[in-house]
Structure 1
Amino acid sequence: MKKYALFILFCVSPFLHAETLLVAGFAGYKRPVSELSQQFEKVTNNKVDLFYGNMAQVLAQTSQSDDVSLVIGDLSFLKQAKKVSFSHFIPLGDGTLVLAYAKGKSLDSPQQLLSEKFTRIALPDTKKAVYGIAAHEFLSVGELDKKLKNKLMEVSSVPQVSSYLISGEVDAGFINMTEALAIQDKIGGYIEIDHQTYSPIYIAAAVVKGHENNAAIKAFQNYLNSDAAHKALQGAGL
Structure 2
Amino acid sequence: MAISPAAEQGPDTLTVSAAASLTEAFTDMESRFEAENPGIDVKMNFAGSGNLRMQIEGGAPIDVFASADQNHMDILSGEELIENSSRKDFAQNSLVLIVPATSTLNITGLEDLTAPEVDKISIGNPDTAPVGKYAHFALTEAGLWNQLENRTILAEDVKQVLVYVERGEVDAGFVYMTDAKTAEPGTIKIIASVPVSTPVSYPIAVVSSSEHKEEAQEFLDFVAGEEGQEILEEYGFTPESE
Deviates more, 1:177-186 or 1:226-235: 177-186
Provide the rounded CA distance (Å) in 1 between the counterparts of 2:149 and 2:219. Answer: 44
Gaps of 5+ in 2: 1-8, 238-242
Question: Which one-letter code corresponds to 1:225 in the other structure?
Answer: A
Equivalent residue for 1:67, pick from 49, 61, 64? 61
In structure 1, the partner of 2:32 is: 39
Question: Secondary structure in 2 aligned to 1:160?
Answer: helix
Where is the helix percentage greater, Structure 1 or Structure 2? 1
Distance 1:66 1:109, change over 3 A: closer
Instruction: Report SS of the residue matched to 1:163.
Output: helix
Number of residue-to-residue matches in the alignment:
222
Give the letter aligned to residue 214 of structure 1.
Answer: K
Q: Does 1:100 align with 2:98?
A: yes
Deviations 1:140-159 (A, max 9, x none): 12321122234221222111
- The letter of the residue matching 1:75 is Q
Partner of residue 203, structure 1: 202
Alignment of 1:29 onto 2:3 = no
Q: Which residue of 2 aligns with 1:114?
A: 114
How many Å separate the matches in 1 of 2:129 and 2:101?
25
Please report the TM-score for the alignment, with normalisation by the length of structure 1.
Answer: 0.82
1:116, distance to aligned residue in structure 2 (A): 4.6
1:75 is displaced (CA, Å) by 2.6
Is contact 1:212-1:218 (8 Å) kept? no
**Aligned match of 1:90 in 75, 88, 91?**
88
Which residue does 1:12 correspond to in 2?
none
Do residues 78 (structure 1) and 78 (structure 2) align?
no
The answer for unaligned runs of 5 or more in structure 1 is: 1-15
Identity of aligned residues (%): 20
Residues 1-238 of structure 1: matches in 2 within 5 Å? Answer: 18-45=11-38, 46-65=40-59, 67-73=61-67, 74-81=69-76, 82-83=78-79, 85-87=81-83, 88-105=86-103, 107-183=107-183, 185-190=185-190, 191-195=192-196, 198-211=197-210, 214-238=213-237
Offset of residue 89 of structure 1 = 1.0
Q: Give the 3 Å change call, closer, same or farther, for CA 104–209 of structure 1 in structure 2.
A: same
Structure-2 change in CA distance of 1:96 and 1:41 (3 Å): same
Q: Does 90-99 or 114-123 show the bigger shift? A: 114-123
Given that 1:92 and 1:205 are in contact with CA atoms closer than 8 Å, whether structure 2 keeps it comes out as: yes
The 8 Å contact of residues 125 and 155 in structure 2, kept in 1 or not, is answered as: yes
- In 2: Cα distance, 1:139 partner to 1:153 partner: 14
Residue 69 of structure 1: how far off its partner (Å): 0.7
Change (3 A) 1:18 1:90: farther
Structure 1 residues 66 and 110: alpha-carbon distance in aligned structure 2, compared to 1, 3 A threshold:
closer
Q: Distance in 1 between matches of 2:28 and 2:171?
A: 29
How far apart are the structure 1 equivalents of 2:51 and 2:202?
Answer: 17
Deviation (angstroms), 1:115 = 2.9
Q: TM-score, structure 2 length as denominator?
A: 0.81
Residue 52 of structure 1 and its aligned partner are, at CA, apart by 2.3
Q: Is the 8 A contact 1:123 1:173 kept in 2?
A: yes
- Whichever of the two has the greater Rg, that structure is 1
Q: Distance in 2 between matches of 1:109 and 1:233?
A: 28
Question: Structure 2: which amino acid aligns with 1:181?
Answer: K
